[in-house]
Structure 1
Amino acid sequence: MRLSSYNPQERYRRRAADQLAGLLTVLVLVCLSFGIGFWLGGKNSSYQHGVLKDDVEQLSSENTVLQDTITELRAEAQTAIARHDRLKRLYDDAVPEGPMRDLVKLLKRQIDEGRDAKRLAFLIRSARPPSNCSDEQALRFIVSTPAYKGPESRVVLANGALVITGSGLSAVNTEGRAEAWFDPSKAVSVEFVVSGGEAEVKTGVLPMRHSVVIGDREYRINIAEGARSFAKVNYDSCDYP
């Protein structure tokens, strides 16, 4: 008969040792995991810090560029405003407001319609107050018609430097036949011939006003209906210009 060598205390000690070893292993693993996690967290924190630092630097650079752009735009805006003000002043000087602007528009329209610019300038200058004018004088001439068979009739002014003649339509009697005298209710053509110059013809119903410059004198002429067959000429002359 053999005696058993089983020792229950030894068994408990081994179990306790195994449990302690397992616990220590778990603790070591936990500590190791914590350490690795802390290390990885530090690495990640450093990476995030680096990323944030790069973002901050990029934003700072973009902000600097934006500020420079804003400064340039402000400078360009100030330059544009100054240019606009200068152009407005030039425009106001070139095209003034009020009656002067209306006059400029009228002159442009007249020239566009074919009016002679020199003639328009003359008319404007003629609008000034006259000075050193002569006394008004009166003459007359016969307005020729298709039925008129008499001699040519004319008025001579400025010592022969200006000749005025006229023609019109014949008046019609009650029988429908043309008379020798002109019909004052119809338009007449008056010709102004300056010595050494071209003839100028004006057409319209009398009375008619006209002016002619000869030398340093301006002749202001008014032509109206006179006695039968005649046109009456009233005129004076003033210094020019």
Structure 2
Amino acid sequence: MARRSRRQREQSKKFWMGLVKFGVFLGVVGATAYYAYEAGTQLSAQEITELKAEIGRLSQTEQAQQQRIGELEAGLTSAEQVAADYRTRYEEVAPEEVRAVLEQVRVKMEQGLSPERLAFVVGQAQPPRNCTAVENRRFLAKTENYDGANTWVRFNDMITVTATGRAANNGREQWYDPAQPVTVVFSPLGDREEEVTGQLPIEHSMIFKGKEYRFTAAPGARGFVEVTADWCDYGAG
């Protein structure tokens, strides 16, 4: 009887010891789970806060960019309107001939001539004096199929004029096609030649050895270029 009672007490003791261990185990597991939950909740909350802050920053940046774009577009519209107003005023006060002169000045300045040099040349210009009668001559334009006789003329024994064009009939003929661009070359004796390319008629003027030469090159009979020229004294009066 006493032996059974002792065995029961030992079994009871073992039972309670196991129950305590199991309780401790559950406590550890529960604490671990709770810590993980709390840590995950805090991390998630922090990430959400950071994402909201980033979204707010990007929204502000986009608004600022849209505002800046609006300001630039308004400035562009204003500038275009001002330019259009100046253009209108310029066309009202500047005759077509003056605009043509100013365009030539702009081209020369882009080519490197200084404003001082251009002003000097304009200041030296004088009304034509001692002009010759207009002379008219013709010659054959050179092409990729023809470079023979009668391909030049000379005026005042000083300036030779030649021209090169594209062969007519899609390159099958010897004569040039007057509907295509032509390069006309003006070669002063012993000086640098000047070229002008475009569709005929072409007008050109040049100063050489104290005279101003004025040329007009136009289409002539088949294969020919007709050139008219006159020249006047040039320089201070």
Structure number with larger C-alpha Rg: 1
